[in-house]
Amino acid sequence: MNFPNNAYLLSFFGACVVTAVFVPLWRAWCERSGLVDDPGHRKIHHTPVPLAGGLAVFSGLSMILLMGIAAVSLKLLNPEAVDKLAYGLGRRAPQLAAIFIGAAGMLLLGWWDDRHELKPAAKFIGQTAVALLVAAAGVRVTLFVPSLVFSYGITVLWILTVTNALNFNDNMNGLCGGLGLIAALSFGLLAARSGQYLVGSLALMVAGGLLGFLPYNFPRATVFLGDSGSHLVGFLLAILAILPHFYSTKLAHPSRLAVFHPLLVLAVPLLDLTSVVWIRTRERRPFWIGDNQHFSHRLVRAGWSRATAVMTLWALAALAGALTLS
């Protein structure tokens, strides 16, 4: 199979398999170290569940990324693949380094929150610091506005919004991981379709990693993502929404409206975030305090099973993502 298809398949299935192998290892470590989610208020599980998902996904992605870089450096792929990926890696090396550090930072911030329940202000400061780091490395939104201040501001706002949207949607088995998988797959297909090989490979790698985790989390959960995992997933999706060139005069049918594709791909978690923030603000409650007003909870109250509610939201997310590919 010729490039880019073989590189895409290796990224996707490699991350899937390696993450799936890491989940039981991290689950055992979390059980020994006490990194578990205990039963309590608004929770449906009756025994402690290890918060191993984020650690496993990050481990799987890191290993496949390093293996991919090694394969390009040692020229283990066909010459065309090596040339194109080497060009992308060289051109985006500072950005990739910042993204990797940012992903590790979000993972650690969430892990610390899982351990010690950080105050909202502390989490916000940590998230902002990570967002500023990647923006400083050149991973920024522009929206055709020639202003560096605007670019920094909208980038930080975007990363904070998407990160917290996925964090908010980590409220039922499989929901956050499934939404992340669908969004990453959509971004990967969009990038691959326009010949953005490196971005497409990275997006499909994230999708594969989440697919490797999902069987452990849905329909019955033996591990949770935890705040570490939901922070990681949200951050990666925010970055995958920035990296591709959705508008370019080099494309067959360029349209400036294409820059809004990420809003469609992430429509379900973003609308859910908007909804719960509006409800909590209207009721004069802190919007960062959790409740049962998410889309998933409302579907369950309407008589749907939790699994059906989650799969319905997956289907809506997939439909929204498919609209960007039409």
> Which 3-state string (H, E, C) describes the chain?
CCCCHHHHHHHHHHHHHHHHHHHHHHHHHHHHHCCEECCCCCCCCCCCEECCHHHHHHHHHHHHHHHHHHHHHCCCCCHHHHHHHHHHHHHCHHHHHHHHHHHHHHHHHHHHHHHHCCCHHHHHHHHHHHHHHHHHCCCCCCCCCCCHHHHHHHHHHHHHHHHHHHHHCCCCCCHHHHHHHHHHHHHHHHHHHCCCHHHHHHHHHHHHHHHHHHHHCCCCCCCCCHHHHHHHHHHHHHHHHHCCCCCCCCCCCCCHHHHHHHHHHCHHHHHHHHHHHHHHHHCCCCCCCCCCCCHHHHHHHCCCCHHHHHHHHHHHHHHHHHHHHC
Q: What is the arithmetic mean of pLDDT over 151-172?
A: 97
- How would you class 286 by CB atoms within 10 Å of its CB: exposed for 0-12, middle for 13-18, buried for 19 or more? exposed
Evaluate if pTM is beyond 0.75: yes
Of the candidates 55, 51, 68, 56, the one whose C-alpha atom is nearest the C-alpha of residue 12 is 68
> 185-189, 190-194, 312-316: which range is least confident on average?
190-194
Cα 281 from Cα 78, distance rounded (Å) = 56
Structure confidence at residue 40 as a pLDDT band (50, 70, 90):
low
Structure confidence at residue 1 as a pLDDT band (50, 70, 90):
very low
Q: What is the arithmetic mean of pLDDT over 41-47?
A: 64
Residues 104-134 pLDDT 10s: 999 999 999 999 889 999 999 999 999 999 9
Q: Where are the domains of the chain?
A: 5-242
CA 134 from chain centre, in angstroms, equals 15
- How would you class 262 by CB atoms within 10 Å of its CB: exposed for 0-12, middle for 13-18, buried for 19 or more? buried
Q: What is the pLDDT, as a whole number, of residue 251?
A: 56
More confident site: 144 or 18: 18
Is the bond preceding 262 in cis, omega lying within 30 degrees of 0?
no
Q: How many CB atoms lie within 10 A of CB 88?
A: 18
Residues 215-233 pLDDT 10s: 999 999 999 999 999 999 9
The mean predicted confidence, pLDDT, of the chain is 91
